[in-house]
Structure formats: C-alpha cells, structure tokens
Amino acid sequence: MEIDMSGIAGWVDTQRDLSRETNTVRAMAGAMACRGPDGEGVWTSGAAVIAARRRDLNGPDVQPVVVQGVVVACAGDVYNAPELRTELQARGHHFETSSEAEVIARAFLEWDTALATRLTGIYGIAIWDTRAQELILVRDRLGAKPLFYAPVGEGVVFASERKALLAHPLVQSRVGVEGLREVLSYAGTPGQAVFEGMAEVRPGHLIRIRGERTTQERYWRLEAGGHTDDLDTTVATIRELLDGAVRQQMRADVPLCVMLSGGLDSSGLTAMAARALRERGDEPLRTFTVTFGAEEDFRADEVWGTPDAPFVRQMVEAVGATHTDIVLRAGDLLDPVIRTNSLRAKDIPSPLGNMNTSLYALCRAIAEHVPLALLGDAADGIFGGNMWMSMPPLLKAETLPWVAMAQWGGGKHGMGTDLLDPDLLATLDVPGYAAQRYRESIGDVVSLPDDTPEEKRMREVWHLGVTNWLGTLLPHGESISQAAGLAFRLPYLDHDLVSYVYGAPWAMKSFDGREKSLLRAALRGLLPDTVLERRKTPYPTPQDDIYARALCAELMEIVNDTSAPVSALIDAEAVKRFAAEPGELVSGPRAWVSRTHAEMVLQLNDWLDLYRVHLTL
C-alpha cells in the first residue's frame, strides 16, 4: 500500500488558455515540497494544470494519472484500494499501474461521484473529467486530509495546503473579521479556511465545478439511532472494528511505529499492532514517546495528573516493543527554526504554540528512524474522552465546550485572547462567534422521537467532538507531521467504527460512569490494568519556568517594538502586567489557559510577518 507523503495542487479555467501556466502550478506544488520531496508530476492542457508532489517510500508513484480522459491526483491513503482494484478488475477494468490514483480514476469511470461512498481512508482527491470539462474535489469522511480551493478569475485553484494557494499570483494573503474570529475562537468550522476567498472542502463532502457553476454534495454523515446490540455485543464489535482498522492501516512496505503516551488510546493501538506483527512473524513493534525533562521533575495538577513514563514502561514490557524516548527541552521549543517551521506547516496561528513546536520536534526525530506512525488522535472525540465530558457546567454551556473550558480556566473570551486590544475584541466578539458556530453544529444533529433530554444533549456534545473539535485537532497533527517528513495513520478514525460508536445510546457510552467507557471495556484484557484504569492526561507540556520566562521576555520585546506586526492588535499594558508574572504560566489549574494568551500573541506576530497578512478589519 502507498504511504501518504504527498500534496496536490491545480488550476482549472475553461475560459483561459492554461497550457503556458505549468510553472505557475509548479510553484504552487513547490510550496508543499516537504509533502513530496522526491519529485513531482504535472499534467497540462488548455483548460487545466494539475500537479502532485510525492515521496517515494516504496517505489515511484507518478501522479497525476490519466485514464480514458479522467485525470486524478490524490493526497492521502485509500486503505481499501486492493479490494477496489479486485472488484474493478472483475468488472472488466485492466490496470496499467499499481497506483491508488488509477484505482480512483477507474472507480470514477465505473461509478461517477458515487465512488466517494466506496472509498475507505484519509484523502483529498482532485478529478478532472476532460469529457465533461468538470472538476471534482473529494475529501475523506472525517476530514483527516485537507483540501482547499479558491476562485481565480473565471476558474478555480485548489491545493492540499493554504500556502500553495497563496503561491498563485492572483490569490492574496488577506484576512478579514470572519477569518480572525475563526483563528481566535478555535472553532474548527467545517469549510472555513481563514483567508479571504478561500474555502476548504468539508469532511464527507465533494465539490463539483463546471464553468462558473459550483455545487457541494454531501456523501456521508453521522446518523443516530438504529443501535440494537446489547452491551456485550457492542463492546465486542468495537474491539473487532478497531482491530480490523489497525490491521488494515498497517498494510505498508515500510517500517512503522506507534506514538505511545501510556494513555488508553495509544496503548490500545500498541497492543493490537504488536499482536498483528507477532502473528505475521515480523520484528517487534517500535514505539516512541515524547518527554520533557526527568520523570522525577513532574508536578501533578488538575489537568496533568500523572507522568507518562511509568505507564509507557509497562506497555513496552507487556508487548515486547522496541522503545525510544524523545526528550525535549525548553530550548527545542524556543528554537526559531522549529517555531517557524511548525507555524509554516499549519499556515495559521494557534493558541497551542508549544504543542505545535514539540510535535514538530517529535515527528522530526521519529522520521529519522521510521517513515510511518500509527497515532491515537481522535479517540477522545469519538469515545467521549475530552475533559469537558466529565464537567457538567461545561456540558450545559451554550457554546463550544473547549471555549467554555478556557473561560472556566480564567480566559475572559476563550483561548488566547486576553492580551488583545479591547476595542478589537469588541469588534470581533469572539464569544459570540463561538456561540454561533456551536448553534450551527448542533443544528446538524438529528433528534429521535424517543430521546430523553439527556440523550439529546449528550448526542449534541458528542457531535461537536467528532466534527468541530476534530476540525481543530486533525489539521494540527496532519500538517505538522507532513512538514517533518512523517506519515500518520489514524485507526480510531475508521468511519465504520466512528458511526457505530456514535449510534450507541448515552447510557451505554457511559455505562461505568467514566470517560471512554466503551473503549476501556473493548481493550480490557489487552492492556495492563494500571494502564487501562489510568485517568485521562493530555499531551505533555514543559513544566519548568525556563520556557515561561522566555515567553514573557518575548512579549516584552514586542511591547517595546512599535514596529512589531502585532503591536496594533494587543493591549500593551495588559501584556506588561502579564509578562511580569511568569509563574502564572508554569503551574496551577489556570496555567494552561494563561499560556494560550502568550502563545497567541507570539504566533500572531510571527504569522503576520511570515505570511505578509493584510488584515481587513
């Protein structure tokens, strides 16, 4: 199976001769060279130019592919490509390559856009049908892979990353009120791309563009109800679905690993992957863990209750893994190269700056050993493991739960906003924007006639975790890992697994009174009891004061530099007061929220400078 290290870009315009615009699209694809450092392919005609970057991990995969007038470029993995190939061969198709892109092209010839319902995997796909002069853009069901587009003249440009669109001479780096609200609210709004004129293909959707006509079609959605299995059957089915997803996503001709934290999610993947390798007679599973400093220096608080190290050791011993600890220091997170690369990977600022830089450093280190990692991301959203799921006041809040959580932690407007200019915040009304996006999302939830108020409410919150929250989480890992040269696969994102869990009633999802009840039950017997019963602990962050003091020093540099790009957006006096108390960023129940305020100011400053953003507020 092909390994996802790829990016696509293109320009379609039936009213303009694009046959001489190959270099324009090459420049767009070149902006994503980290996704495909081994080469690129370009297909050019008068109406379309399509490019694909690639990394040849298991032999050349030349894209775009052309089959009977259908041009296909795909960024991502189609996990069931072997099965689709067999089915299409039975229908009379004769394949000329081993490429997944050819499978997609022939599937389109066979089923038209209904092919989207037959694909399993994580992908952003562009299909140019020369016969109908129509462009089709397809994104995977849950949005693991990005795919952006923007109108240009009478046509459209598309790409796997925003920066590739910005490399087109007619696409401007402009951000208005709506885009800045999206950044500061961390809303994860489906389709929202932050930059003016840009949009993102929504998860589970496809876009059809013919001439000046653009239509959006939804081919998948979460459905409630219809769950008739009892508890034991449900637990067994979840275990079977997850094991199947792990085995399917382990199909690869290159070494792979698991990013292991010692938590329930990654430990479950570790146990299943190690078992699958033993059954195949392969070498032991490799695992990697990120740590900050020595284990004895860990300080528990209300958010981070236990260090990862003891639980990681237990899992490694239990499955016989070959383990490597990646130890990061404050200097790694402050390294300007790492900080710039992690920001450039995401194309937009984030209030979780230190998590961006540490993940980049971790992925870069892992990529020196193996090119592919299984990751436990998304399990919290899918199984109800996010912290707000156990906090009744946040479950009742009429806004995005993570915004409510930040407000509970002391953020006046949410995450990363308290050091911004009060007049700007009044104009933006970030809490109002978050509440609006919250209402839009829960408005998509289908209620059933026999729903109790509790069942209805928990389904709404669950839906937010699988849609908007994943809309913030998945781009974080995907973009940074690709920039660092590491391919990710996400077994918990298997759409059959997600649909099955979503359809189960709340009483079953919470049958033992704890978070992730069904997942814990499904993994019982595979994990040591101490790992199985470990309380949820988020991704680690530095706990020493070196990083906090450095952030405060940088904030003061910005305050004292009136030419700093972000200077017009901040409350200088608030920043001075904040920077005088670096201890507030180190420990305590509100330290994580305080860090988001500092991180956002620094990220905004770097972003405005790096991307030459023109704000239209």
Q: Which residue has the higher pLDDT, 590 or 222?
A: 222
Res. 412 pLDDT band, cuts 50 70 90: confident
Share of the chain above pLDDT 90, in %: 77
What is the residue-averaged pLDDT of the chain? 92
Checking if the pLDDT of 4 tops 70, the result is no
For the residues 102-111, what does the mean pLDDT come to?
98
Distance CA 154, CA 174 (A): 20
pLDDT score, position 582: 77
Res. 62 pLDDT band, cuts 50 70 90: confident
pLDDT score, position 305: 66
Strands 286-292 and 256-259: parallel
For the residues 154-160, what does the mean pLDDT come to?
97
pLDDT score, position 296: 63
Q: Burial of 352 by CB count in 10 Å (0-12 exposed, 13-18 middle, 19+ buried)? A: buried
For the residues 180-208, what does the mean pLDDT come to?
97
pLDDT score, position 302: 64
pLDDT score, position 548: 86
Paired tokens of 32: 């994503």
Strands 121-129 and 134-139: antiparallel
Classify residue 536 by its DSSP letter: P
Here the contacts of 246-249 (C-beta below 8 Å, separation 24 or greater) are 246/272, 246/273, 246/276, 246/374, 246/491, 247/272, 247/276, 248/79, 248/80, 248/120, 248/494, 249/77, 249/79, 249/374, 249/489, 249/490, 249/491
Checking if the pLDDT of 59 tops 60, the result is no
pLDDT score, position 331: 87
Smallest CA-to-CA distance from 31 within 344, 419, 451, 456 is with 344
pLDDT score, position 57: 53
Res. 363 pLDDT band, cuts 50 70 90: very high
pLDDT of 115-140, one tens digit each?
Answer: 999 999 999 999 999 999 999 999 99
pLDDT score, position 295: 64
Mean pLDDT lowest for which of 143-147, 154-158, 550-554? 550-554
CB 206 within 8 A of CB 138: yes
